[in-house]
Amino acid sequence: MTWPTSLSDIQPYLADGIGIPQGRLLRCFHPAVTAHIPDILALRQRVFKRDAPGGKPSWDDARYWHWKYVAQPRTATAPLPYWVFEKEGEIIGGMGLQHVQVDVHGKTYPAIWGCDIVVHPSYDTRGLGVFMNLVFQETFPFFLVLGTNARSTHMLAGLSHRLPSLRSYKKLIRTGPALEHRLGSRVLGKACAVVLDPLYALYDRSHRVQIPPGLTFERIEKSDPRIPALCEQIAPHTRVRVRRSTEMLAWRFFDNPRWHYECHGALFEHTLCGYVITRTDGKGGAAIGMIVDWLCGIPTRNPPRSGAAGEAPGPLDEEATPALAYLHALLFQYGVGRLAAQGVSTVYSHACGRVAEAALKRLGFIRDAAADSPFFVESCPREIEADVLSAPNWTLTHGDSDID
């Protein structure tokens, strides 16, 4: 038998399962207002407690939720980007969304990422998660989900187009912590690391990429005026990717209350041609580092127009694959160096995109398939379906994922 995958298919059974008349289901699921926030946070706490009995989230969830859904760009001019399912005044389900723009072969489309789906434990496995996803599919013409947990992955696979995952890569910086873990002995691990670290450094040196003359790196701060120009130049040459913008980067990374991010830019002859965003886990001696997000393009020069005062920077050519892979590798290498200087022992990165993944491999990153994040396109406009549902077109980074 096939899965029931339309709202009309599932509504009679959801109505039976949660005890609400079928005709009222759609009215029960609606955008939240600020008065709902305490109940939403209380529901999240119940779900956290079910998933990790005795444990508590390591972050300030109220502050995190406020950042994600009240401070999210566009929230001031639109309803709260979080929907609630109410039964007799009680919130028994919720689902968040993030407004983004997706560049598809030179055109920009509004889209949403779905995130933070929760169902009250008393109504778990009744079909409410399916219902909320299907309502979003019908409400939002371009609806994406990345980084679901195991509880939702099978359900989403039945409702959506599953594209290749955001693939996980890792690179060892210091062997000690890994050896300590593997050998089960701190002393033995440290002793082995004394011998192995110099050998590993030699191996790592063979993966280093030469920095070309004229290329420099510098710290990029929130709202750096050079970021919009970089984003605008790259967007027309992108196959399919969520648009980066000053506003998005400021909110997603610089204002994020859960993690501390650093952004560094690569400048070629003083022109910004890329950035890389890194973070450490911020705890326990910052043992883990992550290359979270990046954007780069190869600067080219347009022939000067007749009467123009001089040579202007031209578009950045994403098709210039070897040069672009080289620039990606330079950015990642700089990011790894920053993280190593902060004391991390392992650097992770998650990527979907031929050029970025080739660059990671070139630097000695290895695949860690167990940490891949599944990616789903739940709905998209018909005119771009062929482009959007073609996996090789996508560029994704961890910056696109739901978790933080």
Question: Contact residues for another protein (CB under 8 A)?
Answer: 1, 3-4, 9-10, 12-14, 16-19, 119, 124-130, 151-152, 154-155, 158-159
Tell the smallest beta-carbon distance from residue 14 to another protein (Å).
7
**Cβ nearer to another protein, comparing 128 with 277:** 128
Which residues touch 374 (CB under 8 Å, ≥6 apart)? 146, 147, 148, 153, 156, 157, 162, 165
Residue 292: enclosing H or E segment and its boundaries? strand 288-296
CB contact at 8 A, 10 and 77: no
CB contact at 8 A, 162 and 156: yes
DSSP string, 73-89: TTGGGSS-SEEEEEETT
**Cβ nearer to another protein, comparing 159 with 298:** 159
Tell the smallest beta-carbon distance from residue 23 to another protein (Å).
16
**Cβ nearer to another protein, comparing 116 with 262:** 116
CB contact at 8 A, 67 and 254: no
Tell the smallest beta-carbon distance from residue 16 to another protein (Å).
6
Tell the smallest beta-carbon distance from residue 158 to another protein (Å).
5
Tell the smallest beta-carbon distance from residue 81 to another protein (Å).
22
Measured between its terminal Cα atoms, the distance across the chain in Å is 37
Tokens encoding 363: 């630097």
* Interstrand relation of 90-104 and 82-87 (parallel, antiparallel or unpaired): antiparallel
**Cβ nearer to another protein, comparing 115 with 196:** 115
**Cβ nearer to another protein, comparing 87 with 208:** 87
Please state, in angstroms and rounded to a whole number, the distance separating the CA atoms of residues 107 and 109: 7
**Cβ nearer to another protein, comparing 17 with 73:** 17
Tell the smallest beta-carbon distance from residue 154 to another protein (Å).
5
